[in-house]
Amino acid sequence: MTSLISLPTRRHKPATRAEMALVLGAAALLALALLGPVLPASAHQHAFADQRAPWGIPCAVDVLSNLPFAIAGVWGLWALRRLAPGALDSTSRALAALFFAGLLCTAVGSSVYHWQPQDAGLLWDRLGMVLPFAGLLGLAASRVSERAGWAMAGAVLLAGPLAVLWWAHTGNLMPWAVVQLGGMLVVLALACLPRRDGALAVHLGAVIGLYAVAKLFEAADHAVFDATYQAVSGHSLKHLFAAGAAWPVLVALAAWHPRRAPGGPQVTLFVQNGAHAVGVARSSRV
């Protein structure tokens, strides 16, 4: 009996203020998605400006402009593979892998949709987008703690498909808008918080800026097509800038390279929001 009583018990760390703020923010976004006004889809959502079909490819530029998503996805997965085991914490590695694999799914889904724009293709396009959203928001939340990163990614992986299916069933885009734009607001808030030691140092401000520019080009699809004398449409440029939002994650991976100082302890260099910082591992010798 004594031995049983003396056994150590595993206790979970209490939630921090930042973690509680994330929970409250997620609850507020959920309430907006469920109780907010109905947001109908545009009657012209499939009427893209650039309808040219060179080489027999329908909406060719909109289709081919998805190639940068695939390039960024392959590049990121290759960069992760090159990292030595243990060079990056398991949470950041897994969430980054989800993000880059999601970019590959986005490239495929968006290409299929733009080949023949219709609701069925758009459903798969948006489902593919859920994966990089989950990876990115998870990376952003992992600045607070590893469990916050996992929880955020899991929440997006659950809420994203439900929002897409709700739109497909009812035509109400509000839940999907909350996942997409509300998620960027969460990233913006997390960009203002200090990053925990060991987390991947992604410049979240750059991610948000590139994504915002992409959304502006998406809204100005026809205006950009006319302004460029039908050389390129706003939606094609939207694909380029949205894929460019992967660049800060790639830069963070490239900057994460352990080095060993001559005759001294291991030194890990990393970049946090554009500013350089140096972490020195303590020597095992006393």
pLDDT in tens, 100-117: 999 999 999 999 999 999
Average pLDDT over residues 250-264: 65
Q: Mind listing the pLDDT tens digit for each residue in 65-77?
A: 999 999 999 999 9
Q: What pLDDT was estimated at residue 219?
A: 94
Report the predicted TM-score, pTM, of the whole model to 2 decimal places.
Answer: 0.84
Residue 284 pLDDT > 70: no
| d(C-alpha 227, C-alpha 15), whole Å | 52
CATH top-level class for 17-26+57-256? Answer: mainly alpha
Cα distances (Å, whole numbers) of residue 119 to 12, 41, 126, 165, 267: 45, 11, 10, 11, 52
Q: What pLDDT was estimated at residue 19?
A: 87
Of 284 and 71, the one with more pLDDT: 71
Cα distances (Å, whole numbers) of residue 181 to 3, 58, 87: 54, 29, 33
Cα distances (Å, whole numbers) of residue 195 to 52, 171, 273: 46, 39, 9
DSSP state of 179: I
Q: Which of 92-106, 194-208, 219-233, 238-252 has the lowest mean pLDDT?
A: 194-208
Of 84 and 146, the one with more pLDDT: 146
C-beta of residue 238 within 8 angstroms of C-beta of residue 218: yes
Ranges of H-type helices in the chain: 2-5, 17-35, 60-64, 67-82, 90-115, 119-141, 146-170, 174-177, 183-191, 204-219, 221-227, 234-244, 247-255
Average pLDDT over residues 269-277: 43
User: What's the order of all strands across the beta sheet hosting 275-280?
Assistant: 257-260, 266-272, 275-280
Tokens 């090159």 belong to which residue? 82
Average pLDDT over residues 84-111: 92
C-beta of residue 72 within 8 angstroms of C-beta of residue 246: yes
Q: What percent of the chain has pLDDT over 90?
A: 72
Average pLDDT over residues 228-240: 96
Angle at 151 between CA 188 and CA 177, to 5 degrees: 50
Contacts of 285 (CB under 8 A, 6+ apart): none
Average pLDDT over residues 186-195: 90
Q: What is the mean pLDDT of the chain?
A: 86
State whether residue 206 is helix, strand or coil.
helix
